[in-house]
C-alpha cells in the first residue's frame, strides 16, 4: 500500500535536479558577465562620422548623422533645450534628427549606457544623481572640447567661442590640463532675502559682521528665524558660505589649497575663523529643527516671511517661482566681512560656472555633440536660456541691459560690484567623498554643538585620507 503513495520525487532529489537545471542557465551568466570586463578600447576617433568643414560648419559635422542629447530635468527645466537650442541646431542641420530625452536621475539612465558602450552624444550631467565627472574623464569617456572652444562663435562675429565666455569658464571644466566639460550656467552664491521684508522694516543688507549680527538680532525680535539652511539635504549651501567667508578672510588661495589637497589646507586660521563665526550664527540665530528639514521646506518658510536670510545660489528665484508671493522681491547680499582685516573686500563674491555638459567621446556623433554646444553658446542660445530659467550663462554680457527678474538683476549687480574678486572651489565635484564628509561636519558645526577646532580637524583628516587613497584620481588647478 505505502508504495503506491510514495512520491516519485522526494524533496532532496527535487533539489538536486533543480540544481542541475540551474546549470543549464549558466551560459546566461557568462553572457552577462561579458558586459563588464569583456570590452575593449578599439573605438577611436578615426571612424567617427564627419562632414566637410566650412564656414557654417567649422567642426565638420556630418550633415545627416542623428544626434542624441540627454538633459537633466531639475530647477532649470528642459524648455531651453527643446525650444531654443534644438531648433537652432536643426536650422543649420535640417537633416540631422535630434533625439531628445530628459530625466531627473542622470546616473540611473545614462551610466549603464556608458558601461554598455552606446552612450548618448551630449549629456547634461547634473542633479543629485549626477555621475562622477572625474571618474568619467579617468575612464576616457569624455570628449576633449579644445576644438569647440577654438571654433568661431555662431552669432557673435569675429570671435571664437572661447572669446565670448566669461573668463575662467574653460578652466572650470578643465581636468588636468584639458577642457572636457562645459559649465554653462553662471551662478552667484550668497545670502538671499526678501527686498519687501527689508524695505518694510527699514533694514539694509549688512557689509560687516557686527552689522550682520545686529540685523539678525532685530529679526529675532520680530519673531522671524533670522538665518536658516536645510540640514536634511542641503548642508552644501551652508558649507559654501563658510568656505566663501574663509576665502574673504584669507584670500582666494585658501580655496585653491583646499582643492589641491595641500597639507594643512583646512587647518588654517582663516577656515577656523569662518567656522567659528558661522557656528555662532547657527547656535544663536537659527533653529535646531532645520537640521531635519529639506531645502524646499526651508525655502518655503522664507517665502512665507518666516526666515530672514537663506544661503543659496542664483537658481533659487527660479526654483521658488511657484511659491513666491507677489512683491517678495528676491535680493542677493554678498557675505559680510568677518573681520576688519579681511584680505578680500565685502563685495567679493562666490561665483562660478556650473551645470555640467559634456560630449561622449565614444558616442556615435561626438562632433554633433560639440556643435550642439556651439549653439548653446551662441548669443541667441544664451538669451533664450536666461529668459526661460532666470539664470545667467557663461556667455559674457549676453543679456546686458535686459530686465528679466529682480533676483537676476540683483545677482548681476553684485557680480559687477565684485569685479575681479570672484572665487570658487571645485573639490566637491572632484572628490565626492570629501563633499559628503563636509556636509556632515557642517551640520555638526551649525546644529549639533560642534566647534571650529573640531570642524577643521575633522576635515583635514578627511582630506588627508582622500589624498592617501590611491584608488581616487587626483586633480589640481
Partner 1 sequence: MKHGRYPFIIGFLIVPVAIYGTFVIAAYVQAFQLSFTNWRGFSPNVDYIGFDNFTKLFHDSTFWKAIQHHVLLLIFLPLLTIILALFFAFLLNVGGGSKGGRTQGVRGSKFYRVIFFFPQLLALALVAVIFSRVYSPDESGLINGLLQQFGAGPVLFLADSHLALWSILAVLVWQGVGFYVVLFSAGMGSIPTEIYEAAALDGATRSTLFFKITLPLLWSTLQVAWVYLGIAAFDAFALVNVMSVDRGGPDGATTVLGLEIYRNAFDYAQFGYASAMGVVLFFLTLTFAALTLRVTRRDTVEL
Binding site for partner 1 (CB under 8 A): 8-9, 17-18, 21-22, 24-26, 28-29, 32-33, 35-41, 107, 111, 114-115, 117, 129, 131-132, 135-136, 138-141, 231-233, 235, 287-293, 297, 432-433, 436, 439-440, 443-444, 447-448, 471
Q: Which three cell numbers stand for residue 224?
A: 522671524
Q: Which phi and psi (to 5°) does residue 309 adopt?
A: -105, 145
Contact (Cβ atoms closer than 8 angstroms) between residue 53 and residue 59: yes
Please identify, using beta-carbon distances, which residue of 139 and 380 lies nearer to partner 1.
Answer: 139
Smallest distance, partner 1 to C-beta of residue 36, A: 6
The length of the chain is 477
Which of 112, 448, 420 shows the shortest CA–CA distance to 289? 448
Residue 278 to residues 238, 254, 306, 344, Cα–Cα distance (Å): 9, 17, 20, 18
Smallest distance, partner 1 to C-beta of residue 33, A: 6
Residue 291 to residues 75, 181, 280, 282, 287, Cα–Cα distance (Å): 23, 34, 16, 11, 8
Please identify, using beta-carbon distances, which residue of 243 and 293 lies nearer to partner 1.
Answer: 293
Which residues lie closer than 8 Å to 153 by C-beta, 6 or more apart?
Answer: 159, 160, 161, 163, 164, 374, 377, 378, 379
Instruction: Scan for cell 557680480, then name that residue.
Output: 415
Please identify, using beta-carbon distances, which residue of 211 and 297 lies nearer to partner 1.
Answer: 297
Please identify, using beta-carbon distances, which residue of 107 and 417 lies nearer to partner 1.
Answer: 107
Smallest distance, partner 1 to C-beta of residue 121, A: 16
Residue 235 to residues 294, 349, 438, Cα–Cα distance (Å): 10, 19, 8
Smallest distance, partner 1 to C-beta of residue 444, A: 6
Please identify, using beta-carbon distances, which residue of 24 and 420 lies nearer to partner 1.
Answer: 24
Instruction: Scan for cell 537658481, then name that residue.
Output: 315
Smallest distance, partner 1 to C-beta of residue 222, A: 18
Please identify, using beta-carbon distances, which residue of 226 and 235 lies nearer to partner 1.
Answer: 235
Smallest distance, partner 1 to C-beta of residue 304, A: 11
Smallest distance, partner 1 to C-beta of residue 109, A: 12
In this structure, what DSSP letter does residue 343 have?
Answer: S
Please identify, using beta-carbon distances, which residue of 114 and 266 lies nearer to partner 1.
Answer: 114
Amino acid at each position: 500500500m505505502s508504495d503506491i503513495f510514495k512520491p516519485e520525487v522526494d524533496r532532496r532529489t527535487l533539489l538536486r535536479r533543480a540544481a542541475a537545471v540551474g546549470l543549464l542557465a549558466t551560459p546566461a551568466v557568462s553572457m552577462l558577465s561579458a558586459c563588464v570586463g569583456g570590452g575593449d578600447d578599439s573605438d577611436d576617433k578615426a571612424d567617427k562620422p564627419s562632414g566637410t568643414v566650412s564656414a557654417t560648419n567649422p567642426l565638420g559635422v556630418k550633415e545627416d548623422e542623428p544626434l542624441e542629447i540627454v538633459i537633466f530635468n531639475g530647477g532649470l527645466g528642459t524648455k531651453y533645450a527643446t525650444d531654443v537650442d534644438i531648433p537652432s541646431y536643426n536650422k543649420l542641420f535640417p537633416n540631422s534628427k535630434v533625439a531628445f530625452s530628459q530625466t531627473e536621475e542622470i546616473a540611473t539612465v545614462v551610466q549603464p549606457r556608458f558601461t554598455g558602450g552606446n552612450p548618448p552624444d551630449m549629456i547634461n550631467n547634473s542633479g543629485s544623481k549626477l555621475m562622477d565627472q572625474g571618474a568619467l574623464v579617468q575612464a576616457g569617456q569624455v570628449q576633449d572640447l579644445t576644438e569647440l572652444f577654438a571654433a568661431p562663435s555662431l552669432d557673435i562675429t569675429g570671435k571664437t567661442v572661447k572669446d565670448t565666455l566669461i573668463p575662467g569658464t574653460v578652466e572650470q571644466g578643465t581636468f588636468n590640463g584639458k577642457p572636457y566639460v562645459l559649465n554653462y550656467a553662471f551662478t552667484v552664491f550668497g545670502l538671499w532675502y526678501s527686498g519687501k521684508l527689508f524695505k518694510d522694516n527699514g533694514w539694509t543688507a549688512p557689509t560687516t559682521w557686527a552689522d550682520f549680527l545686529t540685523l539678525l538680532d532685530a529679526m529675532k525680535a520680530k519673531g522671524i528665524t533670522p538665518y536658516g539652511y536645510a540640514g536634511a539635504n542641503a548642508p552644501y549651501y551652508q558649507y559654501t558660505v563658510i568656505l566663501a567667508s574663509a576665502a574673504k578672510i584669507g584670500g582666494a588661495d585658501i580655496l585653491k589649497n583646499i582643492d589641491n589637497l595641500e597639507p594643512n589646507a583646512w587647518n588654517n586660521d582663516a577656515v577656523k575663523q569662518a567656522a567659528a563665526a558661522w557656528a555662532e550664527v547657527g547656535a544663536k540665530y537659527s533653529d535646531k529643527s532645520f537640521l531635519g528639514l529639506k531645502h524646499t521646506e526651508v525655502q518655503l518658510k522664507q517665502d512665507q516671511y518666516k526666515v530672514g536670510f537663506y544661503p543659496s545660489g542664483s537658481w533659487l528665484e527660479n526654483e521658488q517661482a511657484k511659491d513666491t508671493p507677489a512683491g517678495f522681491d528676491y535680493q542677493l547680499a554678498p557675505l559680510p566681512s568677518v573681520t576688519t582685516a579681511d584680505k578680500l573686500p565685502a563685495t567679493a563674491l562666490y561665483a562660478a560656472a556650473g551645470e555640467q555638459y559634456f560630449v561622449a567621446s565614444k558616442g556615435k556623433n561626438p562632433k554633433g555633440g560639440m556643435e550642439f554646444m556651439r549653439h548653446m553658446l551662441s548669443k541667441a542660445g544664451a538669451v533664450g536660456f536666461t529668459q526661460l530659467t532666470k539664470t545667467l550663462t557663461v556667455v559674457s554680457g549676453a543679456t546686458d541691459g535686459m530686465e528679466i527678474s529682480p533676483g537676476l538683476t540683483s545677482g548681476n549687480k553684485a557680480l559687477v560690484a565684485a569685479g575681479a574678486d570672484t572665487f570658487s572651489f571645485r573639490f566637491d565635484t572632484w572628490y565626492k567623498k570629501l563633499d559628503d564628509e563636509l556636509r556632515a561636519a557642517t551640520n555638526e558645526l551649525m546644529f549639533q554643538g560642534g566647534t571650529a577646532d573640531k570642524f577643521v580637524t575633522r576635515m583635514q583628516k578627511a582630506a588627508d585620507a582622500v589624498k592617501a587613497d590611491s584608488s581616487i584620481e587626483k586633480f589640481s588647478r
